[in-house]
Every structure is written in C-alpha cells, then in structure tokens.
C-alpha cells in the first residue's frame, strides 16, 4: 500500500519538473523519469522490492499542487500478487485432493502421509510473503530520502492532512510546530526525513 502526502510549491508545474530533473541528475544514487505532470524516482541500487516515489504535478492558483505517493514498484507488486494467488490456489487444490472431495482428483494413501509434499505450496506462499516483507523492511529508508529530495528540489511545503500529521508528530517529539501562513499551509519549514518516514508503509 502506497503512502500519500500532499504539498504546495510556488513554482509552476514546468519549473517543478525542471527542478526535479536537476535533483535527479545531481544525485548519483537515484534514477527517475520526469514529465510535465509526473515525476518518478527510485534508488539506483536496491532490492527487488524497492520503493518508487511518484509526484503528480497539478497547476493551482498559488503555484503547483504536488501529490506524492511512495510504495512498492507496481510491476513487482502485480507479479507478487500473481505469485501468491497461484500458490494459494495450488494449496486449495491440494486440500481438496487430500480430503478426496472429487473422485477423479485425490491423493493416494501414501501421498496423504507425505506432509512435506502436501504443505509445500503453502510453505512457498508464506516464504514469498516473508521475502517481500524483508525486502520492504530493507528499503524502509528509501521513501523518506526520495521524498525529501523532491520536496527540497521543488521548494514544496506540506498542506492539508500532511501538514497536520507533521505538526502532530512534532508535538509528540517535543519540537516546535512550524509557523503557518494565512492560508493555513506550513510555509515556515520543510518536512524532515523523520516525519516522512512515519507516513510510509513498509
């Protein structure tokens, strides 16, 4: 599940895209794609379950509304879902064969005693989920880093629920809340890596 956060930049979408491209080029550890209304960025060296940060740019009266989502690569996520579904389906088929629900599809008495064989599909599914969780845990620092890089490059400030979440976390940690503008947006300071990390699912 991707974490979503919203920001506001005083730059227009083209300038935001240009700034993001400059930040990606200047940072050797990341790669990305930049369009007029979309920015994709990820770490260059990571595991299969790496984090991809997507920034959607939309022109508004005050500048550009930046909607950031950080989560697993969609291709990897779809492949993982197919993998899990396949092994769960095989597990159900094995269960039906073990219970001899269908006369034409059932295990022999000898096969029913082989628990390793019977539980192998479920073991594979569990190991697959565990591997994905381990990969996401190892990539837990990528989303804060990539989000901070884009936010700093675009000069964006947190708005709406994102700003409220940041103020709440700062109060819990005993830090002063950032000053607010007349519109209620936090134009006083940037979001930091600790705040971003609290909004990212691993």
Could you tell me the mean pLDDT of each successive run of 10 residues in the chain, 202 residues long? Answer: 84 92 92 92 91 93 91 92 94 90 82 88 94 93 92 87 60 56 43 38 36
Close Cβ partners of 138 (under 8 Å, ≥ 6 residues apart):
47, 49
- Give domain 3-73+141-185's CATH number out of 3.40.50.2000, 3.10.129.10, 3.30.310.80, 3.30.1180.10: 3.30.310.80
- The per-residue pLDDT for 36 is 86
Q: Which residues pair with 31 in a beta bridge?
A: 42
Query: What is the distance between the alpha carbons of residues 39 and 56, in angstroms, rounded to a whole number?
Result: 7
What residues does each domain of the chain span?
A: 3-73+141-185, 75-138
Q: How far apart are CA 65 and CA 50, in angstroms?
A: 26
């Amino acid at each position: 599940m991707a974490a979503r956060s919203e920001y506001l930049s005083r730059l227009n979408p083209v300038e935001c895209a240009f700034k993001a491209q400059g930040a990606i080029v200047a940072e050797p550890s990341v790669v990305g794609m930049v369009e007029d209304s979309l920015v994709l960025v990820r770490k260059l060296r990571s595991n299969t379950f790496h984090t991809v940060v997507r920034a959607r740019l939309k022109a508004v009266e005050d500048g550009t509304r930046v909607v950031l989502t950080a989560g697993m690569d969609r291709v990897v996520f779809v492949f993982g879902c197919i993998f899990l579904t396949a092994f769960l389906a095989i597990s159900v088929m094995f269960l039906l064969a073990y219970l001899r629900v269908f006369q034409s599809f059932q295990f022999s008495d000898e096969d029913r005693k082989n628990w390793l064989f019977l539980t192998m599909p479920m073991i594979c599914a569990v190991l697959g989920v565990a591997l994905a969780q381990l990969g996401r845990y190892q990539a837990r620092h990528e989303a804060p880093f990539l989000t901070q890089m884009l936010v700093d490059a675009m000069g964006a400030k947190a708005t709406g629920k994102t700003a409220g979440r940041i103020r709440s976390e700062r109060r819990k940690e005993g830090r002063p809340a950032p000053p607010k503008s007349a519109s209620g947006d936090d134009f006083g300071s940037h979001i930091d890596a600790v705040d971003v990390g609290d909004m990212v699912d691993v």
